[in-house]
Structure 1
Amino acid sequence: MSGELSPIDKAKFVAAKRAADMVEDGMRVGLGTGSTAAWLVRCLGEMVREDGLRFSGVPTSARTAQLAREVGIEVLSLDEARWLDLTIDGADEFDRDLNLIKGGGGALLQEKIVAAASDQMVVIADKAKEVESLGAFPLPIEVVPFGWQTTQALVEETLISMDVMGRTSTLRMSHSSPYIADEGNHVLDLHLVRIGNPRQLALILNQIPGVVDNGLFIDICDTVVIGYGDGRVEVRDINEGTIETDRIDFVETDNLFKDLSD
């Protein structure tokens, strides 16, 4: 099995494994969406089965909910949980201030709502996701289907006055049809190259009619857990100003790794 996993996958696993240890009995925990979050859900499922961990998970997408149920995690809706102790999710990019770009998996709206309803947000990522300036990864925005082309034109016109290097956008597709997010919205990916002022851009994009929300997560993330392919883990807490390092033994077990195709 070890020959089948790339260093990036190993880095994602050790970050997820380290973050899973932050979950305690009785917690209500937001469960993110994407490849790194899938490792987390698998790790937590193993802790439920093997260690007797008892907690409630609030998934940020339908596919995370399905995986959580498959591995034995109790699943609640956000309305049922109301408020969360912790949300653990991945990110497409993060900078040194722990500003994020999220939404590569198409679930940015539910991810942001869940993260905002949590006492703490922890991001799990491999080292490659850390950047000096956000924007190399396309910035997703959810837009309502009605008049989406008009919304797209308004967004591109707005970008002219923003501190970005690129100003084109594309409609995300699923095969030959527009991709539909869980809330029924379309997703536009903005190809910005570099975002000079993420906070300003996030505020202005959300003022455009037709834009539901954008994938810039500003002042939401508290801690980032960074995994490396050799098993090293770095935990940065922006509130405490601390950096901790650790190493996690990489042991592959069939029940944890089988059928993980996210």
Structure 2
Amino acid sequence: MEEARERLQRAERVAVLTGAGVSAESGIPTFRGSGGLWEGFRPEELATPEAYARDPEKVWRWYAMRYAQVMQAKPNEAHRLLVELERAKERGFLLVTQNVDGLHARAGNRRLVELHGNITRARCERCGHRQPLPPPDDFTPPPICERCGGRMRPDVVWFGEFLDADHLAQAERAFMTADVALVVGTSAVVEPAASLGRIAKSAGAYLIEVNPEPTPLTPLADLSLRTSASEGLRAVWRQDG
């Protein structure tokens, strides 16, 4: 533990990947397991282009429910610790998240890549314009594009869709050049994000994993903590030493 803390304190370049486990402490369910977001649903029913084409109203109802849930949530200690880490490392820091809840940005992270999009925004099917959703109490889906009047879809990456190439390239560069890589609250099974930790390790980074359960990344990690996101980050990142 001491080595991990010292390496993180000394590191000039730090890359972080976060998953649903970070937001779980804010009351947002993870995707898998009992009580998860997919319990009782199949992803192809709600989170694919085909599902949206087949029944856009059903898909929007589910996303509107999730959006309302997300807006009730507040950033937790793990989010705040990652803001502290960004401020300490400045331009040597990048946070890459698989989460679509926007909590990292609300906590204050600015050097941030949202690989899978953001549930608090919509994207126009016609012109590609993005705009924030109105407050949940005022939101009646589907939203209409303020630019061209077209119907909008959730601004998230669905199963079967490609990630934004620029965002992915930015994430890969950060992990390839990191002195320390942190992978927090993710099962490390959803590609291509799951490969970022392996990229960092192959390039010589010190790899720290924080997750309550073992993952495919665990055998490669220099330190693997079986705990919550906030407890793990608190253990390896203490401003007071």
Question: Which has a greater percent of strand?
Answer: 1
- Structure 2 length normalisation: TM-score? 0.35
TM-score when normalising by structure 1:
0.33
- Structure having the higher helix fraction is 2
